[in-house]
Amino acid sequence: MSQIANLLPRDVGDHIEKVNKQFTNDEEIFYWMYTEGIHESQSIKRYLFFLSTMSRIFQEINIYFEETNQGRENKKDYRSVQTTPEEMLLISQYLYYLDSYGIGGDVLECGCFKGYSSCCLSWACDFLGRKLIVADSFEGLPAIKHCCYETGDFKESMENVKKNVKTLGKIKNVEFIKGWFSKSLLNFDRQICLLWMDVDLYGSAQDVLNGVFQRLTHGGVIFSHEFNPSQIENGLIKQNSNQEVMKAIGNFMNNNNVHYKTCYVTGFMGLVVPNIDMPKYKLIETVMGMQDALNPSIISSLAKVNANMQYSVDLIRVMPENKILEIEGWAVDDVLKDSARGVIINIDGNFFSTTYGFERRDVAIAHRNIKYTYSGFKARIDVSYLEYGKHHLSLLMVSKNKTNYVESQKVNFIIKNPL
């Protein structure tokens, strides 16, 4: 039996183990779930219904949510939505895992900006009968000298956040805590099963963990933004990490002798799993769609193969106000006629991870190969180090057996000066 059965909700995994079928890979399990399992198991039906419903709702919230923060042109917080539907779906999916294993507690979100993620998570919490607690200063970032942020960045009033959640979320299921984390969370006494942080700063991450970590239920997990896969080594945050939120988390775990594992998930998001003696279902090595990220440094150990590459770049978009490049598409291992091990982006000689394994049924149908079903990739890359003007990128498709890679043709893109 594939490891994926251990990483699905408990009732779903239990049913799959009872099925008298020999699954040779994870794609076959997912295909069976969608085509046969959904008709013979209420647990599978409920799980897939949850995923498809939440995915659709999160996409709709993204469409209807205000797009820009007026008056903040050329600032970090010009875009009103700073997370993605995919990130919110993965958090919600993990909450479903925890629920299936009886891990009790509420969900705590620290740092909500205008409330996009609050709207999304309120739906997931409502479905699963959990409370969502939203903590924020509602004054923006605290006064601090910083190379990248300014005092008051990401400021929004609690009243406006509540309006957004009331309009696009499940407000009856949400509670709000206002104030700086160092004070507002000082006497936090609620049990939580999942902590979601999007706090940007070292000090803010410290304040959150100092205030609420002891309230994290045994078996609970932490999701955080500001994660970079290059700052993870052997499942731990590098001690000399140059990413301050990751450094704050790593220092907290080390200083408090917490045995943990961490991994990059997607976008700018990572997962931290304390108490790793718990069952392996909490180690999110695989998630729906087989999403995974390779460390870009792997390229130096692989052989480059000159061969044709089956791929497509469906979207390249650069947000000029903060120089974030968004890219998505698909790529497959044309030699082994299988999905790839992963895709890495080469931008002017610098390598970046993508999240690989998004569902692309259109690719599987077009090529008449079910193994191509989870061949999609997406990435959001900080290219603020690049000058305005023309640049180029290429895709590096790592083979399924992780022995070599094929590089695509170069694609040009332009970073426009917003001034």
Mind listing the pLDDT tens digit for each residue in 370-404?
A: 888 888 888 878 887 788 889 999 999 998 888 88
Residues in the chain: 419
Task: Check residue 320 and give its pLDDT.
Answer: 63
Q: Say how far apart CA 341 and CA 107 lie, in whole Å.
A: 33
Report residue 280 CA to chain centroid gap: 19
108, 176, 204, 212, 267 from 112: Cα distances, Å: 11, 10, 13, 17, 17
Domain ranges of the chain: 4-282, 296-415
Q: Say how far apart CA 31 and CA 34 lie, in whole Å.
A: 5
Task: Check residue 25 and give its pLDDT.
Answer: 66
109, 119, 179, 219, 386 from 354: Cα distances, Å: 25, 26, 36, 28, 19
Q: Say how far apart CA 149 and CA 75 lie, in whole Å.
A: 9
Percent of the chain with pLDDT over 70: 92
CATH 2.60.40.10 fits 296-415, yes or no: yes
33, 65, 100, 120, 265 from 50: Cα distances, Å: 14, 22, 13, 13, 20
pTM of the model: 0.75
Beta-bridge partners for 413: 391
Report residue 365's pLDDT band, with 50, 70 and 90 as the boundaries.
confident
- Per DSSP, which regions of 291-409 are E strands? 303-304, 310-319, 324-333, 338-339, 342-347, 350-353, 355-358, 376-382, 389-398, 404-407
Task: Check residue 373 and give its pLDDT.
Answer: 84
CA atoms within 13 A on the CB side of 348: 10
Q: Which of 6-10, 51-55, 252-256, 317-321 has the highest mean pLDDT?
A: 252-256
Task: Check residue 362 and give its pLDDT.
Answer: 87
pLDDT at 277 over 70: no
Q: Say how far apart CA 411 and CA 394 lie, in whole Å.
A: 6
CB 419 within 8 A of CB 74: yes
pLDDT at 321 over 70: no
Query: In the chain, how long is the greatest CA-to-CA distance?
Result: 63
Phi first, then psi, for residue 191 (nearest 5°) are -75, 135
The average pLDDT across 114-137 equals: 98
CB 398 within 8 A of CB 298: yes
Task: Check residue 289 and give its pLDDT.
Answer: 37
Report residue 281's pLDDT band, with 50, 70 and 90 as the boundaries.
very low
Superfamily of domain 4-282: Vaccinia Virus protein VP39 (3.40.50.150)
pLDDT at 69 over 70: yes
pLDDT at 47 over 90: yes
- Per DSSP, which regions of 77-173 are E strands? 106-110, 132-136
Task: Check residue 405 and give its pLDDT.
Answer: 92
Q: Which of 175-179, 235-239, 353-357, 365-369 has the highest mean pLDDT?
A: 175-179
Task: Check residue 61 and give its pLDDT.
Answer: 95
Q: What is the pLDDT of residues 203-222, one digit of tens each?
A: 999 999 999 999 999 889 99
Task: Check residue 41 and give its pLDDT.
Answer: 94
Report residue 235's pLDDT band, with 50, 70 and 90 as the boundaries.
confident
CA-angle at 89, arms to 87 and 93, nearest 5° = 120
Report residue 241's pLDDT band, with 50, 70 and 90 as the boundaries.
confident
Report residue 196's pLDDT band, with 50, 70 and 90 as the boundaries.
very high
pLDDT at 113 over 50: yes
Q: Say how far apart CA 133 and CA 119 lie, in whole Å.
A: 12
Task: Check residue 5 and give its pLDDT.
Answer: 54
Report residue 238 CA to chain centroid gap: 20
Q: What is the pLDDT of residues 20-46, one digit of tens each?
A: 777 776 667 877 888 899 999 999 999
Mean pLDDT of the chain: 87
Buried/exposed 311-337: b ≥16 CB within 10 Å, e otherwise = bebeeeebeebbbbbebbbbbbbbbee
As given in the structure block, the two tokens for residue 305 are 């193969």
Task: Check residue 294 and give its pLDDT.
Answer: 64
Three-state DSSP at 78 gives coil
Three-state DSSP at 223 gives strand
Residue 48: name the closest of 87, 89, 20 by CA.
89
Measured from the Cβ of residue 388, the count of other Cβ atoms closer than 10 Å reads 14
Q: Say how far apart CA 165 and CA 62 lie, in whole Å.
A: 13
Task: Check residue 7 and give its pLDDT.
Answer: 67
- Residues contacting residue 22 through CB under 8 Å, at least 6 positions apart: none
As given in the structure block, the two tokens for residue 240 are 């000399």
pLDDT at 236 over 50: yes
The average pLDDT across 325-336 equals: 88
Least confident segment among 118-122, 222-226, 413-417: 413-417
CA dihedral 16→19→22→23, nearest 10 degrees, is -20
Phi first, then psi, for residue 31 (nearest 5°) are -65, -45
